[in-house]
Chains A and B, each alone.
Chain A
């Protein structure tokens, strides 16, 4: 079942890439039409910017994500023995290489994993989680993160973050351009059809980042139940993760300076908000449903 999951994730990565690429093409066409009345010009620029930017973000993702979240890398087990040893244990039993380990200085308990594949993965934990959780609870959380690593969830997430940010970048370019007073070049030339074209382009540009975010959040939401179940498979101790999730859900959100919103979906529990949001925009399934699912194991 796990191997099905991994293969499914690898297939989904390809689908996601194609889907996002087509979406990017639409945004590019809209941008081109809006700025220069030239769809092909827009497509060309989008292609170049997209490949360069996505390639950069994807290859540097671990360092970018860790920097965005103000995470410090541990140099060895002596920096935080308990965390280090637990991560070691979980990578042993999950049969993946030892990831890099980071700490975020924030009193709210939370953790996440990132990277392109299990060979260059990284996990991060807040100082709050180290202080408030017992060893069994922390083990459950780290097992959850290592399951994300083993399942290649981290690759999908990384790609989604990279693609969403390039769409946001291009859309921003387009909407900013509007305020500089662009597109006055051919104001006297069959303006009737142009207005419709401009409006449609504008709509695409405004909606693009929202669409990207919705896709990204949906991806992360579905992964959580599986990672919870996978964590129990590793630790053989559902109670550890259950009480960890309870403690995490009952604590205050993280400080906003410490969390980049684009990486909120990576965390084990939404770091920015504890209240129930509408389902479409939630990064995570409701905590009580996750705990109920775990109790059935």
Chain B
């Protein structure tokens, strides 16, 4: 009789371990998925930038320096290894503000603003910028969820045994904290 109780206890422990382990794997998967979301948008933006440069170039003596800065940051972003999330986000944030100054400059060129191609690009770029921001928000909330799981008992025991490392939050640049997406508000269409 006694042996059945022991078998029962061991069985319950094994099932609990498997359930908790799988929960941790799926939580970690969610953080990876939400990072992939950011990555997709960064790539999309990188693909859009040459078109933007081409469209803007033709308009007057458009500040060469601003365009070169955008191109430079874009190339830099492509060289950073995919695993280095912090560096990727840092350069990406610089690119975001460089693009903002391109958009701001275009205000001075009514012809450019009226250009159909440019309006479409603006919407596409605004869309990717917003998606980057929201994916980052999603990444941080999935990270918070995963990290909390790793630290809480009894999941923490399984996490230690399975070597689950905590995920690192993406920092929000301080200027964006003050005024989120301010320079896009009226340029959407």
- Chain A: residues with CB nearer than 8 A to chain B? 81-82, 85-86, 88-89, 92-93, 95, 134-136, 139, 236-237
Contacts and interface: CB of A to CB of B under 8 A. Distances in A.
22 contacts: A81-B124, A81-B127, A81-B189, A85-B123, A85-B127, A85-B130, A86-B130, A88-B131, A89-B130, A89-B131, A92-B131, A92-B134, A92-B138, A93-B137, A93-B138, A134-B186, A134-B188, A135-B126, A135-B186, A135-B187, A135-B188, A236-B180
Nearest to B37: A92
B181 interface: yes
Contact of A135 (B37, B120, B138, B184): B184
A134 B37 contact: no
Which of B37, B130, B135, B184 counts the most chain A CB atoms within 10 A? B130
A237 B133 CA distance: 13
Contacts, number: 45
Interface string B115-156: 000001001101100110011011000000000000000000
A134 B184 CA distance: 9
B123 A81 contact: yes
Interface of B: 37, 120, 123-124, 126-127, 130-131, 134-135, 137-138, 180-181, 184-189
Contacts of A81: 120, 123-124, 127, 189
A136 B184 CA distance: 9
Closest 3 CB pairs of A and B: A135-B188, A85-B127, A93-B134
A135 B185 CA distance: 5
Given A86-B130, A92-B134, A236-B180, 20 more contacts: A81-B127, A81-B189, A82-B188, A82-B189, A85-B131, A88-B127, A88-B131, A89-B131, A89-B134, A92-B37, A92-B131, A93-B137, A93-B138, A134-B185, A134-B186, A135-B126, A135-B184, A135-B187, A236-B137, A237-B180
Nearest to A81: B123
A232 to B, nearest CB: 12
Contacts of A86: 130
Contacts of A237: 180-181
Which of A93, A95, A134 counts the most chain B CB atoms within 10 A? A93
Contacts of B189: 81-82
B126 to A, nearest CB: 7
A92 B124 CA distance: 17
A92 B37 CA distance: 9
A211 to B, nearest CB: 42
A81 B137 CA distance: 22
Contacts of A135: 126, 184-188
A136 B181 contact: yes
A84 to B, nearest CB: 9
B30 to A, nearest CB: 9
